[in-house]
Structure 1
Amino acid sequence: MMGMIAQATAQSVDWLALGMGLAGGLALFLLGMGQITVSLKVVAGDRLRAVLARLSSNRIVGAITGSVTTAVIQSSSVTTVLTVGFVSASLLSVTQAASVIVGANLGTTVTAQIIALDVTEYALGLLAAGAALAAFAGRQRTTLAELGTATVGLGFVFLGLDVMGDAMEPLGRYQPFLDLLAENNSPLVGLLIGAVFTGLVQSSSATTGIVIVMGASGLLELETGIAIILGANIGTAITAVLAAIGKSRDAWRAALVHVLVNTVGAAAWIGFIGSLANLANWIGGDAGEGQATPQQFANAHTAFNVVNTVVFLALLGPLVAITNKLVPASVGTKPVGAARPAFLDQDALATPVIALEVTRRELLRVGLRVRSMLVGGVPAAMAGTRRELSDIEQRDDEVDALHSEVVAYLRDLSRRQLSKAQCSEMLRLLRVNNELEQMADVIVTGVVAPGLRRIDEVVTVSPATSSRMVDLQHVVLGTLDDALEALGTGDPDAAVRAAESKADFYDLELMATEHLENRLTAPDPARIAAYSIEVGMVDGLRRARQSCRRIASAARVEQPEATT
């Protein structure tokens, strides 16, 4: 395609043309890989969260999940970042994450095998087909549109490989370069080159692609190329470390699993590169058969990743134990104040599936804060001190601050590339956030405020009335617990239970109101003031239950019309 991009005689090369060809081809390759990853991550993101959230401690299941995920989204780095994010959000244990990370390397073999196929001549056809799919889907972020974008990305990958291959073709006739390769064929040099280059471009697939292109051009011997590919595995370790910065201790441990698996796994093969090359020759045919060489590199890549996966799965227990010892308890994020978010990670915004999950975790934290207001607010309103009631108001200020943080976080998330399902979930979480803030306000205006009036007007709440209020409080707390369960697990039954609490509350509310009305006949001058205060508390608890009902309704994927 670009056979004229660089021309050489026996002693000269147009280095400018060669450099532009390599740089441009690499740029096309990375652009294509990025498009594939982003689009397929949007398509698979919600399914991925569901799978990871339900992972058991079965290491085989975890490894299969990691390998399939990587094969689908075409990036072990993204799988690792996702996994570290889920560990940070306490959705996965380190052991569960370790099996996923080990399996992720196996998934990269699919990428290598695709690159090794001699399909660069179809690059323009893939670009056309992908663009047609995306255009047919329109501007909606549908699965069809994302698949179209991913197909365009695959076209760019093959086009980039073709450009780089044409750019390097003159080097096969440039003797000084061939002599340089012959003099520097040490496996350690290849390992270092692969690690450094991969660390710079943040893509082991790019390194593997260049190795395959150079092999196809006759510029790399099989053993040298294998060493570079091994080094690429080491170079990807930096991605996990970057993903763990600012995260929890367990997130650091999960990242260290990735570092150990990739570095130890690659280094262990240094002494067996010759055997690995012989195995690749046996699987892929003689290196002298033209286009067989790219397949040999891919087969070698597959072979050592399969062996490494089996070995590290068998050693998963000791591997996790080592990371637990290497990462002390002091590593990780420090405790945050009650008015500061504990889970909203700015880095997670790049991966919407994680950003939505950490938002959910933050809202559960806010929900527990609101629950504590209700638990402490009712007894304080009936018989507590002004200081106790002020403490409830302080918690409301903290909920207000967290509400603003969540709104800002979801606003930033809305600017990212989201699927239709993710947009819907984001709006549900925003609604839950608003309802929690409103419930906190209701507790202040409907429970704390009457309590302050009780103190100001020196009113004593009778034990019988207090008992009625506690009964109402228990129903509201149960409804809130069901609402938070619906938020945390998506359990529709929990949302139904929250809705059904209306009948129980209504019966108790009627009994409490009748009790207060009967007490109006008592010959006590303060009864009218007491009645006003106590009826205000009943109304406040009724409105709090309604807020719980709306929270449960918002937390459901399929929302019925909220009624109270």
Structure 2
Amino acid sequence: MLTLLHLLSSIALLVWGTHIVRTGIMRVYGSHLRRLLGHSMANAPMAFTAGIGVTALVQSSNATALLAISFVAQGLMALPTALAIMLGADVGTALMARVLTLDLSWLSPLFTLVGVSLFLSRKQTRAGQLGRVLIGLGLIILALQLIVAAAEPITEARGMRVLFSSLAGDTLLAVVVGALFAVLSYSSLAAVLLTATLASAGLISLPVALGVVIGANVGSGVLAWLNATPQPVPARRVALGNLLYKLAGLVVLPFLPMAVEWMATLGFSAQTQVIAFHLAYNSLRCLVLLPTVGLMARLCERVLTERPLDNGIAQPRHLDPTALDTPSLALANATRETLRIGDLVETMLVHLLEALREDRPEPGEDIRRLDDDVDALYSGVKLYLARMPREDLTEQESRRWAEIIELAINLEQAGDIIEHMLGKVQNLKISKRRSFSDSGLDELGQLHSLLSANLSLGLSVFLSGDSHSARQLLQQKRQFRKRERELAHAHVHRLHQQVVESIETSAAHLELIADMKRLNSLFCSAAYPALEGSGSGKPRVSGESQAVREARIKQQLPPGKPA
């Protein structure tokens, strides 16, 4: 029992090592790898080569599949190009399997020592993440050694020999076992490395090992399909084509006995034979199938037809889940989606002005629909940011994370305020059948114009972080407050003059001005993070109130220009 536990723990260490390498590479070079794939859309051979290179670095064809699927889902890559990348990913996995089975035992302690030193001393830097990669490589090499050591006593057990010998007469069963292990370990590379190690220890025969290797390839295709299931139809087509290409490799099963007989005459070790077969099998299969990517793309498009689905609610466009392993990319995606929320709020302001000046029901319907869109996108951004590993973010990335979520919250609140303002306007015009005076409408229009300008400038400051624009935004916030007080006094003066329309709409008029003041504060809040970053450089204290932040920022403004 203890021996079996050692074997299982060694397998777990192998899987964990491949996971650490993949995530470390993605966090350091994720943006560069995406750029490499994005620039490989000219032709299939170039995409095929890019797939080999990216997979060799991240040591996971599943990670490459997620990248290709996300590109197709966002409309940034054609389906044939993505299929060519997936074929290259299979060859990249085979190449890395060959490298990792070389006699690299002396590298394990070296990689682990250097990796731990870098990771602990510079955890939040690029060097620290490279240390993470070295730790993963050291664990992979160590795990392979432990598997060999743990498998030796198991091979002497008669019961285990009988169990594994039962696979020898059924190649399809060996394929199924390989596919299941690849799915459970979330890595076809780990499955192939384990198979080669067990074959070297004599625990499984060569025919069984080759069947398991073929099954591991099929398992990686099943993994990609499972990952693409929640994605849109174009993304699922990539996974379907990849799976069909994997299944096409099953045509070699009838020829396995001849291949085993020929390989036995070469005199190589069982481990070398398994790894060489894996490399030759994937290389030949992918090179033969590469010219068919166009045909496979058309087949997938016919099998998975895209049905138009429009429930009237906007869906996030930029929140790519595969970018979560690369914090800089994930934050950039969240920024783009938050700016999209800002555009929706800006459109709601335009329709609010129409509702003030006109009696048509259409502006109100548009505002309610847009508020639903704002709520949906806000939920998407919030959940996307919640999935990011905060402990792996640098200080600057953590600050940006907080800025994004704060602006998203403010914009969502702004959408609710605008919809609430619409209710007041419609209640006044429809239920009470009253209208604003010409002067009142003009005053509300002036504030609306200032409000729209501050929203646009606030979004610009959020995107650029420019301190000069941030100071300008706070100056405009002061001007808005001054103008708001002047117009409130002007309204009271009209009440003194007994203007009938002003008297009938007084409560609604003053409430709308107060709501605009709240909106202005929400829009101008983007100035404070920009000025804090350009000021003392001290990070913002979590939970700090808006008033305290404003007080600290006022100390940085020029004399005579309060916020």
With the length of structure 2 as denominator, give the TM-score of the two structures: 0.71
Which letter does structure 2 place at the counterpart of 1:200? L
Tell me: CA distance 1:551–1:258, structure 2 relative to 1, closer, same or farther (3 Å): farther
Residues 145-192 of structure 1: CA distance to partner in whole angstroms, max 9, x if unpaired? 222232222222222211221233356677994997599266545433
Q: Is the 8 A contact 2:355 2:364 kept in 1?
A: yes
Tell me: CA distance 1:193–1:551, structure 2 relative to 1, closer, same or farther (3 Å): same
- Unaligned regions of 5+ residues in structure 2, if any? 536-552, 558-562
Inter-partner Cα distance in structure 1 for 2:48 and 2:396: 27
Q: Provide the residue aligned with 1:107 in structure 2.
A: 92
Q: Provide the residue aligned with 1:304 in structure 2.
A: 281
Residues 355-383 of structure 1: CA distance to partner in whole angstroms, max 9, x if unpaired? 65764565355345324313322222112
Q: Provide the residue aligned with 1:318 in structure 2.
A: 295
Q: 2:246 aligns with which of 262, 278, 288?
A: 262
Q: Provide the residue aligned with 1:7 in structure 2.
A: none
Q: Provide the residue aligned with 2:22 in structure 1.
A: 37
CA RMSD of aligned residues (A): 5.5
Inter-partner Cα distance in structure 1 for 2:167 and 2:514: 86
- The DSSP-based 3-state class of the residue aligned with 1:269 is helix
- Unaligned regions of 5+ residues in structure 1, if any? 1-15
Q: Provide the residue aligned with 2:181 in structure 1.
A: 197
State whether structure 2 residue 12 is matched by structure 1 residue 27.
yes
Residues 421-475 of structure 1: CA distance to partner in whole angstroms, max 9, x if unpaired? 754553343244134235436646888867876776844676x999999999899
Inter-partner Cα distance in structure 2 for 1:357 and 1:468: 39
Q: 1:366 aligns with which of 330, 341, 358?
A: 341
Inter-partner Cα distance in structure 2 for 1:58 and 1:466: 60
Inter-partner Cα distance in structure 2 for 1:62 and 1:553: 45
Q: 1:247 aligns with which of 218, 221, 231?
A: 231
Q: In the TM superposition, what is the alpha-carbon distance from 1:256 to its structure 2 partner? A: 0.8
Inter-partner Cα distance in structure 2 for 1:180 and 1:414: 41
Inter-partner Cα distance in structure 2 for 1:470 and 1:20: 74
- The DSSP-based 3-state class of the residue aligned with 1:413 is coil
Tell me: CA distance 1:93–1:369, structure 2 relative to 1, closer, same or farther (3 Å): farther
Q: In the TM superposition, what is the alpha-carbon distance from 1:117 to its structure 2 partner? A: 0.7
Residues 61-90 of structure 1: CA distance to partner in whole angstroms, max 9, x if unpaired? 433443322222211122223433454455
Q: In the TM superposition, what is the alpha-carbon distance from 1:225 to its structure 2 partner? A: 3.2
Inter-partner Cα distance in structure 2 for 1:459 and 1:295: 87
> What is the identity percentage for the equivalent residue pairs of Structure 1 and Structure 2?
22
Q: Provide the residue aligned with 1:77 in structure 2.
A: 62
Q: In the TM superposition, what is the alpha-carbon distance from 1:141 to its structure 2 partner? A: 2.8
State whether structure 2 residue 230 is matched by structure 1 residue 228.
no
Which letter does structure 2 place at the counterpart of 1:299? A
- The DSSP-based 3-state class of the residue aligned with 1:118 is coil
Which letter does structure 1 place at the counterpart of 2:282? N
Q: In the TM superposition, what is the alpha-carbon distance from 1:546 to its structure 2 partner? A: 9.0
Inter-partner Cα distance in structure 2 for 1:58 and 1:537: 58
Inter-partner Cα distance in structure 1 for 2:382 and 2:172: 51
Residues 115-161 of structure 1: CA distance to partner in whole angstroms, max 9, x if unpaired? 21112354344333322222322xx4322222223222222222221
Q: 1:119 aligns with which of 82, 90, 104?
A: 104
Which letter does structure 1 place at the counterpart of 2:285? N
Q: Is the 8 A contact 1:350 1:416 kept in 2?
A: no
Mean Cα displacement is larger for which, 449-458 or 206-215?
Answer: 449-458
Mean Cα displacement is larger for which, 403-412 or 546-555?
Answer: 546-555
Mean Cα displacement is larger for which, 53-62 or 204-213?
Answer: 53-62
Tell me: CA distance 1:250–1:193, structure 2 relative to 1, closer, same or farther (3 Å): same
State whether structure 2 residue 358 is matched by structure 1 residue 383.
yes
Note the 1:45-56 alignment, pairs <5 A. 45-51=30-36, 56=41
Q: Is the 8 A contact 1:446 1:539 kept in 2?
A: no
State whether structure 2 residue 263 is matched by structure 1 residue 288.
no
Residues 81-115 of structure 1: CA distance to partner in whole angstroms, max 9, x if unpaired? 34334544555554443333232212212320222
Q: Provide the residue aligned with 2:146 in structure 1.
A: 163
Which letter does structure 2 place at the counterpart of 1:310? L
Q: Provide the residue aligned with 1:433 in structure 2.
A: 408
Which letter does structure 1 place at the counterpart of 2:209? G
Q: In the TM superposition, what is the alpha-carbon distance from 1:31 to its structure 2 partner? A: 2.1
Q: In the TM superposition, what is the alpha-carbon distance from 1:24 to its structure 2 partner? A: 2.6
Q: Provide the residue aligned with 1:10 in structure 2.
A: none
Q: Is the 8 A contact 1:447 1:537 kept in 2?
A: no
Residues 253-282 of structure 1: CA distance to partner in whole angstroms, max 9, x if unpaired? 122122112221x2133355578779989x
Inter-partner Cα distance in structure 1 for 2:164 and 2:34: 49
Which letter does structure 2 place at the counterpart of 1:165? V
Which letter does structure 1 place at the counterpart of 2:136? G
Q: Provide the residue aligned with 2:126 in structure 1.
A: 143
Q: In the TM superposition, what is the alpha-carbon distance from 1:233 to its structure 2 partner? A: 0.2
Q: In the TM superposition, what is the alpha-carbon distance from 1:544 to its structure 2 partner? A: 7.2
Tell me: CA distance 1:466–1:527, structure 2 relative to 1, closer, same or farther (3 Å): closer
Inter-partner Cα distance in structure 1 for 2:93 and 2:238: 19
Inter-partner Cα distance in structure 2 for 1:53 and 1:80: 13
Residues 191-226 of structure 1: CA distance to partner in whole angstroms, max 9, x if unpaired? 333223323333212221122213433556655533
Tell me: CA distance 1:485–1:223, structure 2 relative to 1, closer, same or farther (3 Å): farther
Which letter does structure 2 place at the counterpart of 1:151? L
Mean Cα displacement is larger for which, 68-77 or 523-532?
Answer: 523-532
Which letter does structure 2 place at the counterpart of 1:98? L
Q: 2:196 aligns with which of 188, 205, 212?
A: 212
Count of residue pairs the alignment pairs up: 527
Q: In the TM superposition, what is the alpha-carbon distance from 1:287 to its structure 2 partner? A: 4.7
Tell me: CA distance 1:52–1:360, structure 2 relative to 1, closer, same or farther (3 Å): farther
Note the 1:437-456 alignment, pairs <5 A. 437=412, 439-440=414-415, 443=418
Which letter does structure 2 place at the counterpart of 1:380? A
Q: Provide the residue aligned with 1:411 in structure 2.
A: 386
Mean Cα displacement is larger for which, 470-479 or 362-371?
Answer: 470-479
Q: Is the 8 A contact 2:436 2:502 kept in 1?
A: no
State whether structure 2 residue 115 is matched by structure 1 residue 130.
yes
Note the 1:389-404 alignment, pairs <5 A. 389=364, 392=367, 395-396=370-371, 399=374, 403=378
Q: Provide the residue aligned with 2:545 in structure 1.
A: none
Inter-partner Cα distance in structure 2 for 1:486 and 1:311: 53
- The DSSP-based 3-state class of the residue aligned with 1:236 is helix
Q: Is the 8 A contact 2:316 2:377 kept in 1?
A: no
Tell me: CA distance 1:466–1:245, structure 2 relative to 1, closer, same or farther (3 Å): same
Mean Cα displacement is larger for which, 215-224 or 79-88?
Answer: 215-224
Q: In the TM superposition, what is the alpha-carbon distance from 1:323 to its structure 2 partner? A: 1.0
Tell me: CA distance 1:554–1:306, structure 2 relative to 1, closer, same or farther (3 Å): farther
Q: Is the 8 A contact 1:132 1:148 kept in 2?
A: yes
Inter-partner Cα distance in structure 1 for 2:151 and 2:179: 21
